[in-house]
Structure 1
Amino acid sequence: MKAIVYSETGEPSVLRLIEREAADPQAGEVRVRVVVSGVNPTDWKSRRGSRAGEPLAFADVVPNQDGAGVIDAVGEGVDGFAVGDRVWLALAAYERADGGTAQEFSIVPVERVYRLPTGASFDLGASLGVPAITAHRALTVVEGGPDRLAPGALAGKVVLVAGGAGAVGHAAIQLARWSGATVITTVSSAAKAALAAAAGAHHVVNYRESDAAAEIRRLAPAGVDIVVEVAPAQNAELNLSVIRNHGVIAVYANNGGDELTLDVRRHFSLNVRYQFLLLYTVGQAARDAAAADINAAIADGALPVGERSGLPLHRFDLAHTADAHATVEDGAVGKVLIEIALG
């Protein structure tokens, strides 16, 4: 089979295409014939490491956490899945040498595998994983709940999604709207505004063309219940200006800086909660709950992808995985997918 591997950290050029035998799944594992692999910022960040040339935990690593395909073989003790099942994967490469989805066959623990609902495309399946589960977690940490999403679960809540044209922002808009929230999002351009609106945001604020805090307060006079935050250092003052009493700021990335300065007294007065979240260590129960709700949203038609739905798709083949990584690293708007095999 064909696989992409890297043996040291560095530029996209460290990724190389190799041929090797497909292994058999062990107990508690399944082998998936990958149809589409999804690329996320976490994938290129893992490939780069803290500096070029760092040694890895394994001799070779297959990149990419997300993907979708068909179960090809089942290991001993696996229940609930069979050969031929269509599935999507989450955290396939986490702490594994050969689990990543940038290859024709991926072997992963069964707990990282979720059934792909009938009618859902492999493109959609490969676009879930890190973005959608992260978005779900961000929307379920507000004081007083809910801890699960469903139609009506966020009724009466106001959700502010920072960077609504990104993959996590896109999923957060869709899941929040499906769950009944009023959704406001911030963007930096007219083109991104169009994408956020296509995703389903009720209100889109271009922070480069208006006083974002004033505009959000106009739209939500009582304040925002949940902020889905990608750039906490840059947006700290904005968030404090619009958050309501007992609101939560759910931080899933550090775009714009690693250090955050907060006005303690003003946050005290509003009982604000900062909730940091990292998918790798959030826990299996939280990931499973998110996947179940995500699949319910898919069944309701609430999580489409593609430009008409606010998430343009950029396609590469396996041999050009380095180009796919570079595209994500360069800040492409939308979802980068690698087509591995025919569906």
Structure 2
Amino acid sequence: MRAIVYRENGGPEVLESVDRETPAPGPGEVRVRIAVSGVNPTDLQARSGAGRVAPPFAEVTPHLDGAGTVDAVGEGVGGGLLGRRVWVYMAAAGRPTGTAAEYAVVPAERAVPLPDEAGFDVGAALGVPALTAHRALTVAEDGPSRLRPGALEGRCVLAAGGAGAVGHAVIQLARWAGATVLGTVSGPEKARLATAAGAHHVINYREGDPAARIREIAPDGIDLVAEVALGANLGLDLAVLRPRGTIAAYADDGSGGRPVELNATKAMVLNARLQFLVLYTAGPEARAAAVADVTAALDAGALPVGEQHGLPLHRFPLDRTADAHRAVENATTGKILVDVA
């Protein structure tokens, strides 16, 4: 099979296209014939090293997310998955082989059936963005801990960076769960995308007084902020948060490594919750709940992708995976996909 690998940390140039033996699934595993592989910033962090001296394995095939068809199952796996179209998440988490290959072997629970109406593009765009969005929407002190229609009824959710992949999923899931959804963006084109994703209100944070505009829409304050750039946006978040509201920080994009400056008095007066989150350490119960709820939203048709749905797709063939990584590095708006099959 064809696979993309790297043996040392570095830039996209360390990625190499190679021929490898098609792997066989072990006990509790399935083999997926990958159709589309999704690229996330976390894949680039793993490839570049992100603080590690060397990759955790002698050779790594990158990418956590993807979609394809189960063509073999290991011992102990029921036959219900064999032949099923699935979306794959956390394929390369703690393992040397991700979805940037013609075949990927993953634990059976990380291969989730796709509804008949959902294409491989949708499946490859789920994973990290959708599960992270679910986690962000379910960490508030007063819940909910699960998402379903009506679970966020009467609440105001602010998706910071509403045109990004996670922001897009936050908007879609929050809208499906009944929230009033606001999104902050940096310009008209991203405003168009956030609106297409389903945001009820979109605010350009570079114009006028964004806090005043948000307060006009939500005079009692924002219940929950899904935050992509904590260092840059924390002041705005605290200015619009309601008492006992939650800021769920899943990234700190654009901070340049600057320390986050917190107005502790303001946060204490609000009884604010600042929740940090990352998918890998969220715990198996939280991830399982996220998978179940994202699947329900997917079944309901609530998670479409593509330009008309607020998430443009940018495609690369497998042998140009390095260019796909460069597109993510260059902050290309939308979802970067690698066509494998």
Normalised by the size of structure 1, how large is the TM-score?
A: 0.97
Is the Cα contact below 8 Å between 1:9 and 1:51 reproduced in 2? no
Amino acid at match of 1:139: L
Name the SS of the counterpart of 1:118 in structure 2.
coil
What is the CA-CA distance between 1:55 and the residue it aligns to?
A: 2.3
Q: Find the aligned partners of 1:76 and 1:188 in 2 and give their Cα distance.
A: 50
Deviations 1:69-124 (A, max 9, x none): 000110001136432011111110011112x0000000011122211122110000
In structure 2, relative to structure 1, the CA distance for the partners of 1:80 and 1:142 (3 Å cut) is farther
What is the CA-CA distance between 1:178 and the residue it aligns to?
A: 0.5
2:82 matched residue in structure 1: 83
Alpha-carbon RMSD across the aligned residues, in angstroms, is: 1.2
User: Does residue 273 in structure 1 map to residue 273 in structure 2?
Assistant: yes
> For 2:226, which of 207, 228, 231 is the aligned residue?
228
Q: Find the aligned partners of 1:265 and 1:20 in 2 and give their Cα distance.
A: 57
2:306 matched residue in structure 1: 306
Amino acid at match of 1:136: H
Q: Find the aligned partners of 2:154 and 2:81 in 1 and give their Cα distance.
A: 41
Q: Find the aligned partners of 1:88 and 1:103 in 2 and give their Cα distance.
A: 15
Amino acid at match of 2:336: V
User: Does residue 61 in structure 1 map to residue 60 in structure 2?
Assistant: yes
Name the SS of the counterpart of 1:73 in structure 2.
strand
Is the Cα contact below 8 Å between 1:198 and 1:309 reproduced in 2? yes
1:284 matched residue in structure 2: 284
What is the CA-CA distance between 1:36 and the residue it aligns to?
A: 0.3
User: Does residue 130 in structure 1 map to residue 128 in structure 2?
Assistant: yes
In structure 2, relative to structure 1, the CA distance for the partners of 1:111 and 1:45 (3 Å cut) is same
What is the CA-CA distance between 1:51 and the residue it aligns to?
A: 6.9
Q: Find the aligned partners of 2:149 and 2:241 in 1 and give their Cα distance.
A: 24
Q: Find the aligned partners of 2:271 and 2:51 in 1 and give their Cα distance.
A: 39
In structure 2, relative to structure 1, the CA distance for the partners of 1:282 and 1:81 (3 Å cut) is farther
Q: Percent identity?
A: 59
Q: Find the aligned partners of 2:50 and 2:162 in 1 and give their Cα distance.
A: 28
Is the Cα contact below 8 Å between 2:81 and 2:113 reproduced in 1? no
Q: Find the aligned partners of 2:45 and 2:57 in 1 and give their Cα distance.
A: 17
Matches within 5 A, 1:105-120: 105-120=103-118
Name the SS of the counterpart of 1:57 in structure 2.
coil
1:247 matched residue in structure 2: 245
1:334 matched residue in structure 2: 334
What is the CA-CA distance between 1:302 and the residue it aligns to?
A: 0.8
Normalised by the size of structure 2, how large is the TM-score?
A: 0.97
1:97 matched residue in structure 2: 96
Amino acid at match of 1:155: E
Amino acid at match of 2:120: F
2:137 matched residue in structure 1: 139
> For 2:210, which of 209, 212, 218 is the aligned residue?
212
Deviations 1:166-202 (A, max 9, x none): 0000000000001000001100010000000000000
Count of paired positions = 339
Gaps in structure 2 of 5+ consecutive residues: none
> Deviation above 4 Å: which 4+ runs of structure 1?
none
Name which of structure 1's ranges 284-293 and 311-320 shifts more when overlaid on structure 2.
284-293
1:11 matched residue in structure 2: 11
User: Does residue 201 in structure 1 map to residue 199 in structure 2?
Assistant: yes
Deviations 1:246-300 (A, max 9, x none): 1000000111324211111111111100010010111111111111111111121
Name which of structure 1's ranges 203-212 and 71-80 shifts more when overlaid on structure 2.
71-80
Gaps in structure 1 of 5+ consecutive residues: none
Is the Cα contact below 8 Å between 2:33 and 2:68 reproduced in 1? yes
Q: Find the aligned partners of 2:50 and 2:150 in 1 and give their Cα distance.
A: 43
Q: Find the aligned partners of 1:209 and 1:21 in 2 and give their Cα distance.
A: 55
Is the Cα contact below 8 Å between 2:225 and 2:237 reproduced in 1? yes
Matches within 5 A, 1:34-53: 34-50=34-50
Is the Cα contact below 8 Å between 1:318 and 1:339 reproduced in 2? yes
Name the SS of the counterpart of 2:76 in structure 1.
coil
What is the CA-CA distance between 1:156 and the residue it aligns to?
A: 0.3
Q: Find the aligned partners of 1:285 and 1:76 in 2 and give their Cα distance.
A: 24
